[in-house]
């Protein structure tokens, strides 16, 4: 999940570049168009195309695509660290939803709830330096609300991924998600008469290729993580996202972190280390092969 989080952070950085010229749905078209053959190649190696829980996979496609639309829209107006802060509500939502939807085996211990709270507090510290004038905050509100909606959709999608681990091969889930997301985005654009009729500008090829490659790899890693561990624990590992978002802001967009951001990053790292090394009961992997 740590590697998946790094992939998704890099993907969002590339999305921000592409969104300067392309609408969110068109970015999804190119993102999934690149991902489908990559996911097909990975699925073919494991002969993993068949699905058993087709309705649940369809729900995962709908939730995941909705989350993408929201996040890709919010990436236009929010920095990587800001977007990561809002999306850190996701592990809390997963920890709440997983026991309700997946059963008592997904219940989180008190120490995990405390680490989730500490991680959320650290991400809020990262957000402190970005408090702006009321006019700027009003301008950012639509993007923040989109990010919040994407977080809700994403949390529900992650819970479905955990459930799918009981019956499906991760490679099949990832492949059909790419196909489904591409079909949904293309269908909406076709209904609006806005399907792209040619390739994007050459200077956008590298960002779009990066989006597709990192998205596919991140999906594969995330799906495998949910297959073998409790949903709340896997989601908590994604608290590395705000730290990675800060690094991305520095390396890609030249936005240096402040003292508050560094303090928040330290809290997030500490919570993550405690999560990794804290004693815990053994979790029986969900067999999907």
Q: Can you give the length of the chain in residues?
A: 289
- Inter-CA distances, 155 with 64, 195, 221, Å: 9, 29, 16
Over residues 105-149, the pLDDT tens digits come to: 666 566 666 776 777 777 677 666 655 555 665 777 888 889 889
Q: Does residue 172 contact residue 49 with C-beta atoms inside 8 Å?
A: yes
Q: State the Cα angle at 74 between 258 and 195, rounded to 5°.
A: 145
Q: Does residue 102 contact residue 286 with C-beta atoms inside 8 Å?
A: no
Q: Where would I find the H helices in 46-133?
A: 54-74, 80-87, 89-102, 110-127
Q: In this structure, is the dihedral angle defined by the CA atoms of residues 146, 149, 154 and 157, taken in order, positive or negative?
A: negative
* Closest C-alpha to 88, from 245, 257, 280: 245
Left (φ > 0), alpha (ψ -120 to 50) or beta: where does 286 sit? beta
DSSP state of 46: T
Q: Which residues of the chain are modeled with pLDDT < 70? A: 91-92, 95-98, 100-113, 116, 123, 126-137, 232, 272-273, 275-289
- Inter-CA distances, 183 with 20, 65, 71, 122, Å: 24, 10, 18, 38
- Inter-CA distances, 162 with 23, 216, 229, 287, Å: 31, 18, 9, 11
pLDDT of residue 253: 78
Q: Does residue 232 contact residue 91 with C-beta atoms inside 8 Å?
A: yes
DSSP state of 279: -
Distance CA 66, CA 86 (A): 16
Distance CA 280, CA 289 (A): 26
Count Cβ atoms below 10 Å from residue 43 Cβ, excluding itself: 22
pLDDT of residue 287: 34
């Amino acid at each position: 999940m740590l590697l998946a989080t790094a992939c998704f952070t890099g993907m969002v950085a590339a999305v921000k570049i592409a969104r300067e010229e392309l609408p969110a749905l068109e970015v999804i078209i190119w993102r999934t168009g690149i991902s489908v053959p990559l996911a097909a190649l990975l699925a073919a190696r494991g002969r993993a195309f068949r699905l058993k829980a087709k309705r649940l996979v369809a729900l995962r496609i709908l939730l995941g695509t909705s989350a993408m639309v929201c996040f890709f829209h919010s990436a236009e107006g929010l920095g990587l660290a800001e977007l990561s802060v809002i999306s850190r509500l996701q592990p809390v939502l997963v920890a709440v939803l997983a026991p309700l939807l997946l059963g008592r085996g997904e219940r989180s211990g008190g120490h995990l709830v405390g680490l989730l709270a500490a991680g959320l507090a650290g991400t809020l510290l990262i957000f402190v330096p970005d408090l702006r004038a009321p006019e700027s905050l009003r301008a950012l509100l639509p993007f923040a609300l989109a990010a919040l909606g994407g977080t809700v959709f994403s949390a529900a999608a992650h819970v479905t991924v955990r459930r799918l681990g009981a019956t499906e091969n991760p490679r099949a889930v990832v492949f059909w998600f790419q196909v489904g997301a591409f079909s949904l985005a293309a269908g909406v654009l076709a209904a609006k008469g806005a399907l792209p009729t040619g390739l994007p500008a050459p200077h956008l090829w590298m960002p779009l290729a990066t989006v597709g490659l990192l998205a596919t790899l991140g999906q594969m890693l995330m799906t495998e993580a949910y297959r073998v561990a409790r949903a709340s624990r896997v989601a908590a590992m994604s608290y590395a996202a705000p730290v990675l978002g800060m690094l991305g802001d520095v390396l890609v967009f030249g936005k240096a972190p402040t003292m508050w951001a560094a303090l928040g990053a330290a809290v997030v790292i500490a919570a993550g280390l405690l999560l990794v090394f804290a004693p815990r009961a053994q979790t029986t992997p969900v067999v999907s092969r």
